[in-house]
Amino acid sequence: MMTDDAGGAGTVVDVEFPLDEARARALRAGTLVRLNGVVYAARDAAHMRMAAAVDRGEALPFDLRGAVIYYVGPSPGSEGRPVGSAGPTTSSRMDVYAPRLIGRGLRGTIGKGERSAAVVEAMRRHGAVYFAATGGAGALLGRCVVAGEIIAYEDLGPEAVRRLVLRDFPAIVAIDAEGRSLYDRGAP
Amino acid sequence: MGDIREIDVARIGEALVRCIERASFELDRDEADLLAGHAKRERSCTGCAILGQILENAAVARAERRPLCQDTGVAVVFLSIGQDVHLAGGPLDVAVNAAVRDAYARFLLRKSIVAHPLARRNTGDNTPAVLHVRIVPGDRVAVDFVEKGGGCENMSRLAMLTPADGRDGVVDFVLRTVRESGGNACPPLVVGVGLGGSFERVAHLAKEALLRPFGEPAADPEDRALEAELLGKINATGLGPMGLGGDTTALAVHVNSHPCHIASLPVAVNLDCHSHRHARETV
């Protein structure tokens, strides 16, 4: 659960997934967080398929309501490890798909880099959060993935949809559900 | 003179496998020193935290043998082949791709190559590599390997400027490229800049600039001055680690120039992320 102290400099807030709207709306841009619980790994090719499924009115590989998607394609894990390295990929490539998924209950996304105005607007309207993790810290972040399995689109290889369990995964609230963004220049 | 040295292509393959392993799991020592220095000076708390994570990541990668980054890239291979070498034992490109296939499977690196840019079926073994060959004096073969991630490659740009655009135009284009890359290219960056040549040559110059060791300035004095000016201006943008604000946006700028046409001023900016994975061996 989230602690009450949501945000003085240097404090780190624990966030448990799945997220409900109230807890999502309580998070503030700039807050350092430790993420725990289930996320779904999906990137370019998986989003293309999921968006096509949504457009055809078909079911998705997982329930979007309250879910969090991590934009990642992990490297393979060695014996006994669910993944090898698992850092974020560039989120903006998924901007074209994200509003449709947020409109259907997706509560959060994890990635790196800025989001489009359309994504931020969908996040404000529906109460979703965007977390940024450190790109290129794949070994460190891979260690925070404690379980994982492919649940759909296995033929996509590194782009298959995976159900991952995170433990103490370090990130920062980069854009909150009020639309405040750390990427807005002019902010200190 | 006149003696021809025979080298089996399998030996080049073995050297490449060792380069891939080293680049994937070991952060460049000079880079680690640079990062530690910046971490002391960085004024943004978030920036400091990120620089700390990058250094911790290098320790985890080594201790737990996890790749530095899950994006183990497209395998870019530069071979500088001495003109007194005879390559034996089969086709060179077959040996290079066999080495990439072997290394990516053996070291559990991610396979990130699709066979056609539109059909997008994953080849499953990270081949084919991007292979650049050049003939140089001597009887040795130098293998330079770059493991190039997609995030920073996507934010790289090329422009055909005009002579009137001049130096200011070049500085402006490089700064714009870095600003627009935001956090996508995973700053702090290593910035490779190609200047001159032709359309295809300038991109090659920019990529080659990434091979240069940290702290080694350009041979040409004009390029050297440009490197210093660009590094200062890039770090004054305030973009910072992962684009979340701070003083540390680039670790180095390397400029490589080449003569060009009277009508042209080609410039290419090849961004590399802080996970600047490269290795070299000579056979």
Residues on A contacting B at a C-beta cutoff of 8 Å = 9-10, 30, 32, 45, 72-78, 83-87, 89-90, 92, 112-114, 132, 134-140, 142-143, 156-159, 170, 172, 174, 182-183, 185, 187-188
Residue of B nearest to A85 (CA): B70
Nearest-CA neighbor of A143 among B276, B109, B64?
A: B64
Say how far apart CA B283 and CA B280 lie, in whole Å.
10
For chain A, the domain total comes to 1
Say how far apart CA B221 and CA B169 lie, in whole Å.
19
Domains plus CATH for chain B? 5-25+68-148 (no CATH), 150-277 (3.30.1330)
Maximum C-alpha span of chain A: 47
A126 belongs to the catalytic site? no
For residue A84, list chain B residues with Cβ-Cβ distance below 8 A: 66-67, 70, 108, 110
Q: Sign (positive/negative) of CA torsion B277, B56, B18, A82?
A: negative
Q: What is the pLDDT of residue A10?
A: 67
Distance in Å, alpha carbon of A126 to nearest chain B alpha carbon: 25
A111 lies in a domain?
yes
pLDDT at residue B75 above 50? yes
Residue of A15, A29, A46, A47 with catalytic role:
A47
What 3-state class would DSSP assign to A8? coil
Say how far apart CA B260 and CA B197 lie, in whole Å.
5
Q: In which domain, by residue range, is A94 found? A: 12-175
A97 lies in a domain?
yes
Residues of chain A predicted below pLDDT 70: 1-10, 185-188
Residue whose pair of structure tokens reads 């989120």 in the numeric block = A91
A39 lies in a domain?
yes
Q: What is the pLDDT of residue A184?
A: 86
The B residues from 190 to 229 touching A (CB cutoff 8 Å) are none
> What percentage of chain B has pLDDT greater than the value 70?
99
Question: Each residue of B242-280: pLDDT tens digit?
Answer: 999 999 999 999 999 999 999 999 999 999 999 999 999
Nearest to B70 among A74, A134, A183 (CB): A74
- Cβ–Cβ < 8 Å for B20, B100: yes
- CB spacing of B273 vs A136 below 8 angstroms: yes
Say how far apart CA B260 and CA B111 lie, in whole Å.
38
Q: What is the pLDDT of residue A62?
A: 96
The runs of H, that is alpha helices, within B80-149 are 92-106
Question: Each residue of B118-177: pLDDT tens digit?
Answer: 999 999 999 999 999 999 999 999 999 999 999 999 999 999 999 999 999 999 999 999
Nearest to A132 among B54, B242, B273 (CB): B242
Kindly state the tokens that stand for B2.
């006149």
pTM (two decimals): 0.93
Average pLDDT over residues B1-15: 92
Q: What is the pLDDT of residue B251?
A: 97
Question: Each residue of A83-105: pLDDT tens digit?
Answer: 999 999 999 999 999 999 999 99
State the average pLDDT for chain B.
Answer: 97
Nearest to B244 among A142, A159, A182 (CB): A182
- Cβ–Cβ < 8 Å for A127, A133: no
Q: How many CB atoms are located within 10 Å of the residue B41 CB?
A: 10
- CB spacing of A158 vs B112 below 8 angstroms: yes
The CATH number for A38's domain is 3.20.130.10
Host H or E run for residue B32: helix B29-41
Residue of B nearest to A10 (CA): B45
Q: Sign (positive/negative) of CA torsion A114, A117, A122, A128?
A: positive
Nearest-CA neighbor of B251 among B235, B238, B267, B239?
A: B235
- Cβ–Cβ < 8 Å for A15, A7: no
